[in-house]
Structure 1
Amino acid sequence: MDQPTVGILHPGSMGAAVAACAATNTAAVLWCETGRSLASVERAAQFGLTPVSTLPELLDRSDIVISLCPPAAAEDQAHEVAAHRFTGVYVEANAINPERTKRIAALLEPDATIVDGGVVGSPPVGGKTPTLYLSGRDDATTRIEALFVGTAVRTTVLGTEIGKASALKLAYASFQKTSRVLVALAVGIAREHGVDQELIEVASRRTDSYLAEPEYVATTAARAWRWGPELEEAADALAAAGLPPAMLRAAASTLARWNDAKDDGELTLTDALDRLAQP
């Protein structure tokens, strides 16, 4: 079988790196440069993605489209793709709740074949090996698995039901990201009373405690602009399951205090805590 052409929507730090891995087993990986920032253009060039000028051109040329964008944009992006009557495989790999994934599937079918996806882990660069969890029709998930054979992206198929991959992604994110928020708050209390170093010493005596890694608070702050919406999605999933969503909504609200620190790689722990203390 000929190698497929893949289109990547919104090639951010995760999307561009994942797409670059797929390039190993594809004829080309396309992205639409119209309306994108200079940072996106530079990132796409760095990862060797092929630019096209319009979304219709990307959809016409692509056998498989992977959507990896901020959660708020997921449905708008799907509506644009549906309007073009895309007939290939559409991988909905955004951090959105299962009900939204099902709505997107209903929007795009029967023209397109939907695969539900969820990436767990860091972008596949510098030795990192995230896992792309998949659920959907067997023939479609098999095609997506083939894209990443021999690459840094691992794949695991969870079954045929749309929503399973999204649920697993959010279940993990709800724990991992909220835990990092709790670290920031704990260190913030301790710093206010001059016992932050003692707190870290206490935490360091425990095995695998995030509290023993306070330096990660600055990284959390820089990623807050996208972690917050993920936790809102997870809170919606909790509510749909009859579980209390208030804890995750509070964590998302806390992260919102760092929205102006978007992708700031120079942020220090002190900077992050100072910003957190200022509503």
Structure 2
Amino acid sequence: MDQPTVGILNPGSMGAAVAACAATQAAAVLWCAEGRSPASKARAEQAGLKSVPTLRELLDRSGIVISLCPPAAAEDLARDVVACGFGGVYVEANAINPERAVRIAELLGPDATVVDGGVVGSPPANGKSATLFLSGLQHATAQVAELFEGTALRTKTLGTEVGKASALKLSYASFQKTSRVLVALSTGLAREYGVDQELLEVASRRTDSYLAEPEYIAKTAARAWRWGPELEEAADTLAAAGLPPEMLRAAASTLARWHDAKDSELTLTDALDRLAQP
């Protein structure tokens, strides 16, 4: 494959790391600085991305575009892309439910080819790796997979049906993120009764228990602003499948108590205090 030019929408912590992986195989990776924060600019510069002034220029120059944004913005962003007449490969890699992924594919077609994507794992940087699951037309998923060959972002193709990658992403997120919320509630309850150390000792005797990692509660709080919407998407997916969504909606409601802790450096005590007294 000739080296493509890639556009990233937008370089958050995950987007910037994914874009940096793509940059090893791409002719260039572009991002649109219009309306973005200084933090986004810093991440983009660190990842070696090339700034362009408008979305239209990014789309005109890119053969592959990767969308990684907050779930609520996914369809609005896709509409902006449609308005610019994009005709390349569009990787819809947001944490959205499969029905929304299909709607976006219908919205962008027939001009663009949509690949459904779901990233599982931490941002692939600083020694960490992740997996980008893909589903969609074979020639398009192959282009995307080749783009990340040999990088910290592994790829796995699940077939040609748009929605499969999103379903897998939300299936995993349902367990992983809700489990972290349960740890926070369990630790908060134990602290109220002065038995938090005893709880940790019990958990430490069990293999692979999230309860043995209470320090992660502060990280959960800092990520609540994006984890909550992901769990709402997963709850919608459960409801569409005829499965009860209430547990995930409750977890999302709990995460909302930390909404103002976005990307902050909280201590465990701070996080638990905010959970108990929002």
Shorter-chain TM-score range: over 0.9
How far residue 84 of structure 1 moved from its aligned partner, in angstroms, is 1.2
Residue identity in the other structure for 2:200: I
Residue identity in the other structure for 2:267: T
Deviations 1:185-239 (A, max 9, x none): 0001000000000000000000000000000000000000000000000000000
**SS in structure 1 at match of 2:23:** helix
Residue identity in the other structure for 1:276: L
Give the Cα separation in 1 of the matches to 2:93 and 2:135. 10
How far residue 77 of structure 1 moved from its aligned partner, in angstroms, is 0.2
Residue identity in the other structure for 2:208: D
- The equivalent residue for 1:248 is 248
TM-score with structure 1 setting the length = 0.99
Residue identity in the other structure for 1:158: L
- The equivalent residue for 1:268 is 267
How far residue 2 of structure 1 moved from its aligned partner, in angstroms, is 2.4
- The equivalent residue for 2:136 is 136
- The equivalent residue for 2:23 is 23
Number of corresponding residues: 278
Where do 1:46-195 residues align within 5 Å?
46-195=46-195
RMSD: 0.5
Give the Cα separation in 2 of the matches to 1:44 and 1:127. 19
**SS in structure 1 at match of 2:24:** helix
- The equivalent residue for 1:199 is 199
Give the Cα separation in 2 of the matches to 1:204 and 1:67. 39
TM-score with structure 2 setting the length = 0.99
Deviations 1:94-131 (A, max 9, x none): 00000000000000000000100000000011111100
Deviations 1:62-117 (A, max 9, x none): 00000000001100000000111210000000000000000000000000001000
**Mind listing any 5+ residue stretches in structure 2 that lack a counterpart?**
none
Give the Cα separation in 1 of the matches to 2:165 and 2:277. 37
Give the Cα separation in 2 of the matches to 1:84 and 1:54. 11
Give the Cα separation in 2 of the matches to 1:40 and 1:130. 21
**SS in structure 1 at match of 2:29:** strand
**SS in structure 2 at match of 1:25:** coil
Moved over 2 A (4+): none
Deviations 1:43-75 (A, max 9, x none): 100110000000000000000000000001100
Give the Cα separation in 1 of the matches to 2:47 and 2:60. 22
Residue identity in the other structure for 1:222: A
Percent of pairs with identical residues = 79
Residue identity in the other structure for 1:142: A
Residue identity in the other structure for 1:274: D
Residue identity in the other structure for 1:60: D
Give the Cα separation in 1 of the matches to 2:99 and 2:253. 22
How far residue 21 of structure 1 moved from its aligned partner, in angstroms, is 0.4
Give the Cα separation in 2 of the matches to 1:32 and 1:14. 16
**Mind listing any 5+ residue stretches in structure 1 that lack a counterpart?**
none
